[in-house]
Amino acid sequence: MEPIELTFSSESEPERLDSFISRSVPEITRSAALRLIETGFATVNGTKQKPALKLKGGERVSIVIPPPAPAEPQPEDIPLEILFEDSEVVVINKGAGMVVHPGAGNPEGTLVNALLGHCTDLSGIGGELRPGIVHRIDKDTSGTLVVAKSDRAHNALADQFKAHTIKRVYLALVYGSFKEDKGRIETVIGRHPTERKKMSSRARHGKDAITHWRVVARYGGLTLIQLRLETGRTHQIRVHLSEAGHPLVADEMYGGGGRLAGVQDPVLKQMIRAMGRQALHAKTLGFLHPISKEYLEFDTELPADMAGIIDYLESKVAD
């Protein structure tokens, strides 16, 4: 990884080295800055210093963020809803709240841990932390996911995702009412310029992102929509809908949380609070079997939390 190069302004008040690093690089916490300095990954004018060093102006600070030390995921006995499985692939209906693969803060309890407990023949192409993982859905998004059990299956599925020939259909409950019945959103999506945990169309460097949508049902201030992904960027649906003024219900990161105050129905408000995650479900997944080339399609029902809210909204419309 290329080092991050910073210069402490001579016009600034003197500041501790660890404080300057954490303030200048949002993804580095104060404690992480301290560790980088103590281990020599953050230097001043090319030399190792102490975290408490006072910068006075003109110093050049160089930061190298080392790659995380991989820890091989361990098999865990976690129940899985398996929709299909053969020697090449396994198709899962992932529940909301399950992270797809291990990472910072989620070393266990992930889909990968569950898969390793279920089968031993996962593709190695994804690396130690992501065996078999060809694509992913967010932790709090429920729905259908395909995992490769062989390297040849992994490559063939990856080619289909790259060619945008995989069928991916989602259902989402969003705030507001669309003027049209269907449409297409096309932007670029990349890392948010200031909020590093978020994605945005205002990114300095982004990739093309295309989402097709159509209205399924209108419920006053809420709308149930179906979405089809043409591309699959990180947080694509969440970003596109939020920036269109229709954030997902209960999506705290992209504006859905702030809209809860406008919900007048106390029962509905409590149901949304109880759901506690963005109202997004990966309903349908269709692809060519990587070896036989047979077209396979899998469809899953809405989980109980989303289904309960929609049933309640339907009952209010019927009254």
Q: Which residues are catalytic?
A: 138
The helix (H) or strand (E) run that includes residue 121 is: none
3-state secondary structure of 77: coil
Place of tokens 């169309």: 201
Biggest alpha carbon–alpha carbon distance for the chain: 73
Q: DSSP string of 5-41?
A: EEE--TTSPPEEHHHHHHHHSTTS-HHHHHHHHHTTS
- Identify the DSSP state of 248: B
Tokens of 25: 């690089």
Burial of 251 (0-12, 13-18, 19+ CB in 10 A): buried
Burial of 151 (0-12, 13-18, 19+ CB in 10 A): middle
> Residues 177, 229: contact at Cβ < 8 Å?
no
Sign of CA dihedral 48, 49, 51, 56: negative
